[in-house]
Amino acid sequence: MTKHESVRAGRIIDAQLHLLDRQILDPSGTPVTTVDDLELTDVAWNEPLVEGAEAPLVENLLSGPVLATRIFGGRPPRSRWHRIAWSHLVEIGVALRIDADGDDFDVRWVERWMRDHVIRRIPGGSHDPE
């Protein structure tokens, strides 16, 4: 049994209940991001699913700038989404666990930029508190 079979072996999950708005944690338990949307196999976002057809599979967990679209409607451009491949997912629970370090994904670029350009300039901001 591979490490992904426990998550992928034909398990049917409710995306809204088990995936959306869940926090993603890396192997060390550090929060990476939250799931804002899903990218499915062979499904256009504006086409309804046909009853009796084979269920689509999740390809990627998406995270991105969704606050404005939740308030005003619409969808962010595809280029603004940050993708975490479904193959990285190892556990679905209260939080989702992935097998890769959170810094390996572009989703944390804002946090890294703030750390490097703002926090480090604050006196005492470049080291851990004592």
- 3-class secondary structure per residue, 26-73: CCCCCEEEECCEEEECCCCCCCCCCCCCCCCCEEEEEECCCHHHHHHC
In this prediction, residue 2 carries a pLDDT of 45
The fourth-level CATH superfamily of domain 5-102 is: PRC-barrel domain (2.30.30.240)
Burial of 109 (0-12, 13-18, 19+ CB in 10 A): exposed
Beta bridge partners of 58: 40
In this prediction, residue 95 carries a pLDDT of 96
CA distance 119 to 28: 23
In this prediction, residue 62 carries a pLDDT of 92
| φ and ψ of 115, to 5 deg | -60, -45
In this prediction, residue 43 carries a pLDDT of 65
Q: Are strands 37-40 and 58-63 parallel, antiparallel or unpaired?
A: antiparallel
Averages of pLDDT over runs of 10 residues in the chain (130 residues) are 48 86 93 90 69 80 83 83 92 95 81 83 73
pTM above 0.75, yes or no: no
